[in-house]
Structure 1
Amino acid sequence: KERIIPHNQILLHKILLYLKSLNCDIAMLQETHLNVTEAKKLRQNWVGQLFSSPGGKASRGVSILISKNMPFKSSSVHVDQEGRYIIVSGWLQNEKVTLVNAYAPNILQSKFFASLCPTIARSMEGPLIIVGDFNSVCDPIVDRSSQPLPSDKNISTALREFQSELGITDIWRLVHPDVREYSFYSGAHNSYSRIDYIMMSSNLIQNRHAGAG
C-alpha cells in the first residue's frame, strides 16, 4: 500500500520504480488522490493492465496494477463511483479469480462492510483475493497497541462478519497468529494499529496447502 500526493508526478514515478524493483506482479494502491486523467498515468513502465476507481484531489481513489509479465484476462469490472473500491474478475494464470481493492472510510465502517459484502458476492467469479485499507482492526486485543477504543467492538464484529459471509481469511494473521505488528499510527489516540489487510478465499488457501503437500 502506498499513498500518492496529488499531482506529484515525481512521487508517482518513484512509487512505480519501487514496485518494479520488487518484481511486483500485482499491486493494489489505496488513497491515491488521483482523478480519472491522473489515474491513467499509472499505466507506464512495468504496468501492463490498470484498473482504477478514481478519487478526488485530497481523498479516496484505488487502483489495481498488473505487470506485463503476469497473464491476466479480465471478464468483468465493477468500479465504485466514489473511489472506495474496485472489483475485477478474470483469469489469472489460467485460474478464475476475483481481485478486490478497497479503501474503507474512517467513520461508519460497519455500514461500508455491510454494503460492500453483497456487492462483492454478486460480482465475484471464482476465489477472492481482497486487499485494502479497512480503517478497522479485526481483533482489538492484538491488532492495536493500546487499549481497545469504544468503537472497536461493533466495527470488529462487522469486519469478522464480512470475512465470514465471503469465506475469506486474513492471510497475515494466519501465518503470524500471535505477532503484534502494526501498519498505522494515530496521533489522536497515540496508538498503533493493524488496519491494512490481505484476505483470500479459504478454499484457495486449502488448495494451495494441498498442492504443497
Structure 2
Amino acid sequence: MIKGSIQEEDITILNIYAPNIGAPPYIRQLLTTLKGEINKNTIIVGDFNTPLTAMDRSSRQKINKETQALNEALDQMDLTDIYRTFHPKATEYTFFSSAHGTFSKIDHILGYKSTQ
C-alpha cells in the first residue's frame, strides 16, 4: 500500500497479487481487513488471478460461489472494476492458460463507484 498525493489530492494505491489457488476468498479477506484504509481516493490494482465476470473469460463459464462472494463484498464496499465501467463489452484478455486452453482477464483496477 502506497499513500501519497497527486496535485494536492491524497491518494492510496493498493497492489494485490493473489495466489493461484483460493484467490477470491484471499482478496475478499484482504479487502475486509483493509476496509478502514480504503476510501474514495483508493485505487486497487493487481493480478487477482481470477476473472470477476463471465465476460472476463473466453469459455463464458459461470462464476463460482467464491467469486460471487467476492463480487458481493466489492459491491458492499462500493468498489467497481474501472476497466469494466469504461469497457462494458470488451473481451480482451490478460492471461492464457495452456492447461485449460482458455483466456481470462485476471488483472484488475478497482475504484469507488461514486466520489461522494
Q: Deviations over 1:27-55 (max 9, x none)?
A: xxxxxxxxxxxxxxxxxxxxxxxxxxxxx
* Aligned 1:123-134 pairs, distance under 5 A: 123-124=37-38, 126-134=40-48
Structure 2: which 5+ residue stretches go unaligned?
Answer: none
- Higher RCO, Cα 8 Å, sep 6+: 2
Amino acid at match of 2:77: L
TM-score normalised per structure 2: 0.85
Matches within 5 A, 1:2-13: none
Which residue is 1:77 aligned to? none
How far apart, in 2, do the equivalents of 1:191 and 1:157 lie?
Answer: 20
- Partner residue in 2 for 1:200: 111
Whether the aligned pair in 2 keeps the contact of 1:133 and 1:196 (CA below 8 Å) is yes
1:105 maps to what in 2?
19
Kindly indicate whether residue 28 of structure 2 is the aligned counterpart of residue 114 of structure 1. yes
Cα distance in 2 for residues equivalent to 1:147 and 1:174: 19
Q: Which amino acid aligns with 2:24?
A: S
Residues 144 and 194, structure 1, Cα contact 8 Å, conserved in 2: yes
Partners in 2 of 1:187 and 1:195 — Cα distance?
A: 15
Distance 1:92 1:120 in 2: 22
Unpaired runs of at least 5, structure 1:
1-86, 208-213
The match for 1:171 is 82
CA distance in 2, matches of 1:172, 1:110: 19
Whole-angstrom CA distance in 2 between matches of 1:170 and 1:125:
15
Letter in 2 for 1:148: Q
Verify the 8 A CA contact 1:89 1:125 in the aligned structure 2: no
Match of 2:93 among 166, 174, 182: 182
Structure 1 outlier segments of 4+, above 6 Å: none
C-alpha RMSD of matched pairs (Å): 2.0
Distance across 2 between alignment mates of 1:114 and 1:170: 14
**Aligned partner of residue 68 in structure 2, secondary structure:** helix
Aligned residues: 116
CA 125–114 in structure 1, closer or farther in 2 if over 3 Å, else same: closer
1:126 Cα shift? 4.8
